[in-house]
Structure 1
Amino acid sequence: MSSLMFQLPEKGRRVTFIGKGGSTKTHTLAHVRGHWARMGYPTAAIDSDQPGEDEDGSLYAWDQLCGGLVKNSPVVAQYSALHLPGTIAKETPAGGLLGIDTGAWSNTPGGTHHSALAMSDLAVLCLQPAEGELHRSASVWLALKYLEDTTGRRPELVVLFTRTHHNAKANDEARRALEKREITVLESSVPNQQREGGYSRAFGKALDLADDDPMHKVAVEILTKVAIQ
């Protein structure tokens, strides 16, 4: 009998992480995937969000800089919406998890975010719990509606609060606003860590993983969403 915490289907599961620059999206996927691998799950990752001039770098660049975020499982870069579906199908590990890093802040049909969402089992919207960020997430709902209208299906969506502050009133207010719209908000969150060794300074470095890491809680909670019930 498998000793894994949760059972996944043989075909594997696909989880797309979406969010604008500064949402800690790439950092979250890097750490969550590291925890999945640490728990014994086969994992793979695709970077489909080519960084802009004002962004620190991509998941693919991070993987290259540190010599591999997950041993023997390099991040694959695929920035073509035309070729992304084939890459997703190829890279999804049997009985494991594929993490896809993409943007979803332009509701332009034919973007990589549409291709990624169309083939995903779960979409994780990384969002800072601030009123302005909630308004700017509108393109995500539009992208999902476009998918549902054109294909008849859409992945389950959950919101993950990132860059949170302990006991911040904004966290509770944002959660209530989203839940009022019947949007699922994960119980776990990613704290704002600006210190040396924190998430904000982790880019390009090997992952520092531990069971008491908040990202471990995020990894486990996402697993509960895609595991066989």
Structure 2
Amino acid sequence: MDWTWKNPLPEEGRTISFVGKGGSAKSTTLAHLLRNWKKMGIPAVAHDADDSDGQEEPGSLLAWAEMLPVHSEGLGAPVYRAPAAPSLKAEVDRLRPRRGLSLIDTKAWDRGKQNSHLAAIRASDLLVLALYPSGMEKFRGASILGAMDEVETMSGHRPHVVCLLTRFNPSAGAADGVRKELEEEGLHVLKSEIPASESKTGYAQSFGTVPRLKADSDMHQLAKELLVEVTR
């Protein structure tokens, strides 16, 4: 399969932030996306805000990148430690490649006002809400929409928001019910979904390794879908 993809991004590029609770596979998803976008010819940089307040979460994107051999292709894009919240947008804009993406990986969702989440919302063109498909997740979606209302009131900026279902059992059917509930709440749920997999080659076991590339995989499909969403 030909991996080349017509770059739909404008000259100034776009910024995507990933938010969600701890363990929602944000960092895992981002690591795989970086490799897929590299293969597709889409330039990108990532900003790890997991430890922007000095308390790094285990399994962070930056820790993953630092574990890879220097002679390897790594994650396919540089990963930076995100600055403190007041400087986040300026730094993300400064480092974003021409016709490329800046990606922000946030820590576990916290509605507190003095943290990186509101700054990530302010910096973003697209906000990706990573959700485990349980019935309680629609309440997390409501919390994030409330935070977006707050940012819009303060700055006049409101990013496009989409939901990504992650770590679900494809045979359980739970994702369909959660998808319906989220859509009834007015949230847009991506067609792409990231299944749980504990196999040796599954996403859950890939931390610290160079992510594998496979045409038309879940991650490849997600990489393409996000390019559509971020340019709406």
Q: Would you call these one fold, judging by a TM-score over 0.5?
A: yes
Match of 1:23 in 2: 24
Deviates more, 1:165-174 or 1:129-138: 129-138
Match of 2:131 in 1: 127
For the pair 1:114 / 2:118, whether they are aligned, the reply is: yes
For the pair 1:7 / 2:16, whether they are aligned, the reply is: no
Q: Which amino acid aligns with 1:180?
A: E
Match of 2:48 in 1: 47
User: 1:42 & 1:167 partners in 2: Cα distance?
Assistant: 35
User: 1:220 & 1:141 partners in 2: Cα distance?
Assistant: 25
Gaps of 5+ in 2: none
1:54 shift after superposition = 9.6
1:91 shift after superposition = 1.4
User: 1:178 & 1:81 partners in 2: Cα distance?
Assistant: 29
User: 1:148 & 1:129 partners in 2: Cα distance?
Assistant: 28
For the pair 1:139 / 2:140, whether they are aligned, the reply is: no
Normalising by structure 1, we get a TM-score of 0.90
User: 1:206 & 1:65 partners in 2: Cα distance?
Assistant: 10
Deviates more, 1:73-82 or 1:200-209: 73-82
User: 2:55 & 2:100 partners in 1: Cα distance?
Assistant: 33
1:139 shift after superposition = 2.9
Gaps of 5+ in 1: none
Match of 1:57 in 2: 59
- Mapped contact 1:15–1:97 kept (Cα < 8 A): yes
- Mapped contact 1:129–1:161 kept (Cα < 8 A): yes
Matched residue pairs, number?
225
1:212 shift after superposition = 3.1
Match of 2:75 in 1: 70
Match of 1:225 in 2: 229
For the pair 1:86 / 2:97, whether they are aligned, the reply is: no
Match of 1:155 in 2: 159
- Mapped contact 1:104–1:143 kept (Cα < 8 A): no
Q: SS state of the match for residue 135, structure 1?
A: helix
* Partner of residue 181 from structure 1, selected from 175, 180, 185: 185
User: 2:228 & 2:172 partners in 1: Cα distance?
Assistant: 26
1:22 shift after superposition = 0.9
1:103 shift after superposition = 3.2
- Mapped contact 1:12–1:96 kept (Cα < 8 A): yes
The alignment-based identity, stated in percent, is: 38
Q: Which amino acid aligns with 1:14?
A: T
Q: SS state of the match for residue 17, structure 2?
A: strand
Give the superposed CA RMSD: 2.1
> Residue by residue, what CA displacement relative to the aligned partner does 1:165-216 show, whole Å, maximum 9, x if unpaired?
2243321111111111111000110010111121111111111111132111
Match of 1:194 in 2: 198
The structure-2 alpha-carbon separation of the partners of 1:83 and 1:53, relative to structure 1 and needing over 3 Å to count, comes to closer
* Partner of residue 164 from structure 1, selected from 168, 176, 182: 168
The structure-2 alpha-carbon separation of the partners of 1:115 and 1:55, relative to structure 1 and needing over 3 Å to count, comes to closer
